[in-house]
């Protein structure tokens, strides 16, 4: 395992060799297909620069942290493929704000991680680089779409990794790979430099091995950015020595809509066990209802595909990315470049999105979808008058087999049934591991809270992590 970042900050001389080790291990683990590029030279140079700065006594809150970045987030001069044939040779002319802030704080970017094409998927199998494998069982998926980032953390090659969330792409792979993953409040972290999928849902999130580390990353990455007008005018959480232990008792809501048919009995039992432990240390557990949860998947696939069809219109074969070499006319250029450049799942999304936005269907689907989205938000706002947080499963099952759902898009879409509601409502949500099932596959629990309550949900997550240690799996 990597020396932890606190140790590296006190022993900066170890940073270059630690980066070297990370590069070697990530290369040895290539068959997991977590990384799609390693920044050898850049990471080595950064390791020396950060070491020297720390030795000079500069204060770098994330000095020596080694980080992986999902390959739909921009790092200047580096590839930005989105795992798509269309952007295979594209290099980013600028760096995402979130990455820039991490680097300024002393973090070292190890490389780019694998994903589903344009972040569309729940298994990290839709990638020109091949499917990501789950380190707990290589015949299974890592989850998606940020599967590569989850694996890089689970394998112990990096201290943290960035993913993106539109409907669960950080939390679901975090649950499948047994690491912590946060989707912050919409607007908490600038989206500048994140390739757009569904702009009203998209948010950069982070993976780490503990809630404390997620908090360290969040404090540096959050805050308004003039390059993203949807970033919130909300000061970042105050770091002040790190995540503080939870001292008060909370009202924890257990929404009945998340404990329905289709939820694995082992996951349900694992969650109930945590609930009992939380009750025994003084938290109040309250059964609640969010009746519109059942519409989250249909609404998500209307809103997300509508926005995707519009966002992806920019890949026209003329401006950037792949251009079909023998197009006969302009229309042919668009058609052939997009037709050959995009994979089948991306094309399916564009077609669905174009359909729900088209004249005659707009009111029936898109407008109705927006109205129900509002009802989902109202559900949360009402329930957060009675409880401080919600505790639910992250996923209905543990990691499934590679290939199991690839030909069944609807089954794949249902993987996000417990995660998509938070994106639709914009609330923060966290997944942390709480043990393993009979196949030794990680199980995740999800904590959701009101807008901008990241610190609270992380403090509860931290408490659950410590319960786990005391209580065992
Ligand atoms: N799995 C969902 C989808 O395919 C969510 C993806 C995401 O959060 N980026 O759209």
Q: Are 424 and 377 in contact (CB under 8 A)?
A: yes
CA 301 to chain centre: 18
Q: Are 158 and 152 in contact (CB under 8 A)?
A: yes
Residue 399: closest CA among 345, 446, 448, 440: 440
Cβ 345 under 6 angstroms from ligand 1 = no
Is the predicted pLDDT of residue 289 greater than 80, yes or no? yes
Residue 432: closest CA among 389, 401, 378, 402: 389
pLDDT band at 1 (very low <50, low <70, confident <90, very high): confident
Going along the chain from its start, the domains and CATH numbers come out as 1-290+390-473 (3.90.1300.10)
Following DSSP, what letter does each residue of 105-131 receive, concatenated?
A: TT-EEEEEE--SGGG--SSS-S-TT--
pLDDT tens digits, 383-398 = 999 999 999 999 999 9
Q: How many CA atoms lie within 13 A of 240 on its CB side?
A: 7
pLDDT tens digits, 325-359 = 999 999 999 999 999 999 999 999 999 999 999 99
112 is an active site residue: no
At a CB cut-off of 8 Å and minimum separation 6, what does 203 contact? Answer: 164, 165, 183, 184, 185, 186, 187, 188, 189, 191, 423
* E strands, 224-357, in order: 251-255, 284-288
Following DSSP, what letter does each residue of 222-254 receive, concatenated?
A: BS-BTTBTTS-S-PPPP-TTSPPPP-S--EEEE
pLDDT band at 469 (very low <50, low <70, confident <90, very high): low
Distance 199 CA to ligand 1 centre (A): 12
Cβ 395 under 6 angstroms from ligand 1 = no
Which pLDDT score is estimated for 471? 43
Is the predicted pLDDT of residue 473 greater than 90, yes or no? no
Choosing from 146, 169, 210, 431, the catalytic residue is 169
122 is an active site residue: no
Mean pLDDT score of the chain: 96
Express as a percent the part of the chain with pLDDT over 70. Answer: 99
Q: Counting atoms of ligand 1 from 1, which one is nearest the CA of 349? A: 10
Residue 284 backbone phi and psi in degrees, to 5: -95, 125
Residue 432: closest CA among 443, 418, 416, 423: 443
pLDDT tens digits, 63-106 = 999 999 999 999 999 999 999 999 999 999 999 999 999 999 99
pLDDT tens digits, 85-96 = 999 999 999 999
Cβ 120 under 6 angstroms from ligand 1 = yes
169 is an active site residue: yes
Is the predicted pLDDT of residue 217 greater than 80, yes or no? yes
Residue 432, token pair as written in the block: 């942390």
Radius of gyration over every alpha carbon of the chain, rounded to an integer in angstroms: 21
Which pLDDT score is estimated for 470? 46
- Evaluate the omega torsion of the peptide bond into residue 159 and state whether it is cis, within 30 degrees of 0: no
Cβ 73 under 6 angstroms from ligand 1 = no
Q: Rounded to two decimals, what is the model's pTM?
A: 0.97
Cβ 72 under 6 angstroms from ligand 1 = no
Choosing from 9, 47, 70, 164, the catalytic residue is 70
Which pLDDT score is estimated for 319? 86
pLDDT band at 287 (very low <50, low <70, confident <90, very high): very high
pLDDT tens digits, 235-275 = 999 999 999 999 999 999 999 999 999 999 999 999 999 99
pLDDT tens digits, 298-327 = 999 999 999 999 999 999 999 888 999 999
Cβ 462 under 6 angstroms from ligand 1 = no
The dihedral over CA atoms of 40, 74, 455, 144, expressed in degrees to the nearest 10, equals: -80
Residues composing the chain = 473
Mean per-residue pLDDT for 270-284? 97
Distance 121 CA to ligand 1 centre (A): 5
Is the predicted pLDDT of residue 468 greater than 80, yes or no? no
Q: Are 396 and 418 in contact (CB under 8 A)?
A: yes
Choosing from 22, 127, 145, 210, the catalytic residue is 145
């Amino acid at each position: 395992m990597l020396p932890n970042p606190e140790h590296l900050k006190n022993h900066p001389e170890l940073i270059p060799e630690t980066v070297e080790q990370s590069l070697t291990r990530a290369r040895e683990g290539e068959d997991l297909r977590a990384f799609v590029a390693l920044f050898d030279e850049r990471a080595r140079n950064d390791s020396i620069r950060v070491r020297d700065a720390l030795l000079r006594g500069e204060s770098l809150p994330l000095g020596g942290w080694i980080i992986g970045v999902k390959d739909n987030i921009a790092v200047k001069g580096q590839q930005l493929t989105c795992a798509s044939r269309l952007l295979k040779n594209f290099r980013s002319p600028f760096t995402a704000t979130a990455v820039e802030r991490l680097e300024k704080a002393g973090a070292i970017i190890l490389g780019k991680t694998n994903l589903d094409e344009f972040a569309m998927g729940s298994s990290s199998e839709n990638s020109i680089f091949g499917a990501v494998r789950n380190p707990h069982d290589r015949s299974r998926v890592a989850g998606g779409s940020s599967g590569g980032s989850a694996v890089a953390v689970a394998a112990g090659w990096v201290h943290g990794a960035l993913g993106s969330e539109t409907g669960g792409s950080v939390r679901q792979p975090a649950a499948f790979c047994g690491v912590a993953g946060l989707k912050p409040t919409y607007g908490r972290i600038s989206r500048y430099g994140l390739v757009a999928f569904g702009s009203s849902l998209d948010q950069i999130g982070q993976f780490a091995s503990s809630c404390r580390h997620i908090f360290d990353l969040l404090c540096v990455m959050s805050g308004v950015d003039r390059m993203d007008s949807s970033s919130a005018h909300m000061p970042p959480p105050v770091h002040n020595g790190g995540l503080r232990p939870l001292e008060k008792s909370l009202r924890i809501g257990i929404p009945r809509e998340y404990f329905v048919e289709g939820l694995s009995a082992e996951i349900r039992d694992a969650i109930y066990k945590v609930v009992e432990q939380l009750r025994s240390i003084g938290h109040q557990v309250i059964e609640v209802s969010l009746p519109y949860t059942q519409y989250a998947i249909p609404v998500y696939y209307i809103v997300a595909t509508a926005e995707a069809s519009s966002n992806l219109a920019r890949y026209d074969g003329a401006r950037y990315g792949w251009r079909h070499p023998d197009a006969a006319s302009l229309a042919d250029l668009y058609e052939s470049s997009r037709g050959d450049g995009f994979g089948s799942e991306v094309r399916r999304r564009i077609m669905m999105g174009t359909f729900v936005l088209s004249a005659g269907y707009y009111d029936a689907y898109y407008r109705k979808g927006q109205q129900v989205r509002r009802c989902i938000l109202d559900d949360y706002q009402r329930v957060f008058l009675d409880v401080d947080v919600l505790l639910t499963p992250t996923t209905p099952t543990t990691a499934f087999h590679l290939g199991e759902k690839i030909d069944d898009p609807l089954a794949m879409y249902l993987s996000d049934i417990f995660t998509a509601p938070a994106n639709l409502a914009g609330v923060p949500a966290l997944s942390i591991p709480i043990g393993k099932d009979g196949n030794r596959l990680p199980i995740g629990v999800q904590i959701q809270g009101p807008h901008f309550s990241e610190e609270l949900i992380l403090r509860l997550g931290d408490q659950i992590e410590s319960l786990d240690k005391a209580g065992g799996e």
